Amino acid sequence: MRLASALVGKNQSGRIILLSDGAFPPVSDFSPGNAQLIYESLGATRENVAITAMDVQPRAEGYEWFVAMRNFGASEASGVLEFYSGGKLIDARQIKIAPGQTLAQTLRARQLAEPLEARLNIDDALASDNRAYRVGITEQTRRVLIVGEGNFFLERALALEPNVEVNKAPSVPESERGQRVGDSQYDLIIFDNAPPVPVKARAVMVIRAQGGPIAKLSGQVKTPRIAVWEKEHPLLRYVELAPVLIDNAPRMEPAPWAKVIAESQQTPLIVAGEHAGRRWVGIGWNLLESDFPLQPAFPIFIGNLLRWATGEQGGTQGFTVRTGTPFSVNVPPDETRLTLTAPDSQKQEFPVNEGTLIVPGLPRVGLYTLQGNKVRIPVGGNLFDTDESDIAPRQTIQLGGRTVQAQGQMFTLRDLWRPIVLLMLAILMLEWWVFIRRS
């Protein structure tokens, strides 16, 4: 759009034609200039049912497999939900979903073989969100170091997660300090009201501490309420922050590479991002000066933190990501290049930089493989995007701070070429018939 504006924006008779279904967030930093902006809404139906979430959790008696589906259409939808383990069908269920409603299904099994696939057999307009995949359900032990005076609620929430080993220390051991990501014995280091120092770990969370690279703190905000949060971000999935009460919090100024994922009207409160090969999370307030640790959302947040901070980086056991989302993978330092094999067997090579591989995103839903000299990592790609699954054509969009109404389909002579050709053929046939009659 900006390129189009740069090309014709100074022309009074210029036109910028946007062909879209309108499924994108408001765009504020755009102006068509003197050109006329024409929005043509694409799409003819809204009937679509999507798998919007899938998770597998280990339990004492085996595994619990959860699948959530949503009907984005205007009429009731029915179909069959199939569960595949290791390529074999292990369960199938008839489902019916009312318009606009979400349906959840849970399967309990003693054993599961990877890869896992949930397949929704249903007659709808979008097929890519009718399948979901999961790999890497056999989790390795994740080690966490809490630096600070200690936090009972944080330690308890971490203890609720399976395969997690938690250590505490008033300061970071010398063996764990370093400017570059290296051979750390910890997957995640949490600085709880303790000034962060450079560490070798690949994931760091900072709780109300000044001096880290993720954000600067200054001043005070009394009783900030979390007004907006990114519900689709992996850290905040299924996390309800509206009831959280905070006594006070400093103002946060996030680093340019950090994304604000929760904020009040006065200041950002939770930020996250990747920088110099590490994943960072910053919480702006002291957890003990709020009721967040007492909320049901807190252990969910900690579970999301562990999966986000270490799940995609776990190496050979595999992981799952959303299509189109960039992700990083930690591999042995002697690996220099890895090959990504797509579901259709197409291959693409990516370089490894200091033990970290960065992939700009998976193009489509399916099972992928990252192959190196010594590692083979399965990767599952899922859509899991409600905006993409809601295929109803939008009649209005927000561009440049104003509402743009969809226009009817533009009519051009190009649309008439078939009837014109048929008419000319008919005239030729008529002339031929008249000629024959006269002869």
Mean pLDDT, residues 308-327 taken together? 73
CB distance 142 to 165 below 8 Å: yes
For helices 297-310 and 152-159, give the axis angle rounded to 10 degrees: 70
User: In whole angstroms, what is the distance from residue 186 CA to residue 120 CA?
Assistant: 39
Q: What is the pLDDT of residue 182?
A: 73
When the pLDDT of each residue in the chain is averaged and rounded to a whole number, the result is 88
User: In whole angstroms, what is the distance from residue 5 CA to residue 320 CA?
Assistant: 38
Topology at the third CATH level for domain 315-382: Immunoglobulin-like (2.60.40)
For 37-96, what is each residue's pLDDT tens digit? 888 888 778 899 999 999 998 887 889 999 999 999 999 999 999 999 999 999 999 999
**Residues contacting 68, CB < 8 A, separation 6+:** 51, 52, 53, 54, 102, 103, 104, 105
Q: What is the pLDDT of residue 354?
A: 66
Whether 315 has a pLDDT exceeding 60, the answer reads no
Q: What is the pLDDT of residue 1?
A: 77
3-state secondary structure of 436: helix
Q: What is the pLDDT of residue 414?
A: 61
Q: What is the pLDDT of residue 101?
A: 96
Q: What is the pTM of this model?
A: 0.62
Whether 335 has a pLDDT exceeding 60, the answer reads yes
Whether 124 has a pLDDT exceeding 60, the answer reads yes
Nearest residue to 40 (alpha-carbon basis) of 313, 396, 322? 396
Q: What is the pLDDT of residue 255?
A: 92
Q: If pLDDT is split at 50, 70 and 90, which confidence band does 222 have?
A: very high
User: In whole angstroms, what is the distance from residue 9 CA to residue 13 CA?
Assistant: 9
Topology at the third CATH level for domain 142-312: Rossmann fold (3.40.50)
Half-sphere exposure of residue 157: CA atoms within 13 angstroms, side-chain side: 21
Most confident of 4-13, 76-85, 128-137, 380-389: 76-85
More confident residue, 326 or 361: 361
CB distance 82 to 119 below 8 Å: yes
For 139-195, what is each residue's pLDDT tens digit? 667 899 999 988 999 999 998 887 789 999 999 999 999 888 777 889 999 999 999
* Amino acid identity for residue 98 in this structure: A
Q: If pLDDT is split at 50, 70 and 90, which confidence band does 291 have?
A: very high
Percentage of the chain with pLDDT > 90? Answer: 53
Cβ count near 6 (within 10 Å): 10
User: In whole angstroms, what is the distance from residue 72 CA to residue 47 CA?
Assistant: 6
User: In whole angstroms, what is the distance from residue 364 CA to residue 385 CA?
Assistant: 13
For 189-198, what is each residue's pLDDT tens digit? 999 999 999 9
Output the CA torsion sign for 311, 163, 175, 283: positive
- Ramachandran region of residue 334, left (φ > 0), alpha (ψ -120 to 50) or beta? alpha
CB distance 259 to 273 below 8 Å: yes
Mean pLDDT, residues 399-405 taken together? 83
For 192-219, what is each residue's pLDDT tens digit? 999 999 999 989 999 997 777 899 999 9
More confident residue, 339 or 213: 339
Six-digit token string for 76 = 């009731």
Whether 411 has a pLDDT exceeding 60, the answer reads no
Question: What are the extents of the domains in the chain?
Answer: 142-312, 315-382
Mean pLDDT, residues 18-40 taken together? 83
Bridge-based pairing state of the strands 366-371 and 268-275: unpaired
Q: What is the pLDDT of residue 401?
A: 78
Q: What is the CA radius of gyration of the chain?
A: 27
Whether 311 has a pLDDT exceeding 60, the answer reads no
Q: What is the pLDDT of residue 313?
A: 47
* Amino acid identity for residue 357 in this structure: L
- Buried (b) or exposed (e) across 131-155, using 16+ Cβ within 10 A? bbbbbbbebeebbbbbbbeebeebe
Poorest-pLDDT segment among 5-14, 199-208, 243-252, 303-312: 303-312
Omega of the bond prior to 198 within 30 degrees of 0, cis? no
Q: What are phi and psi of 314, to 5 degrees?
A: -70, -10
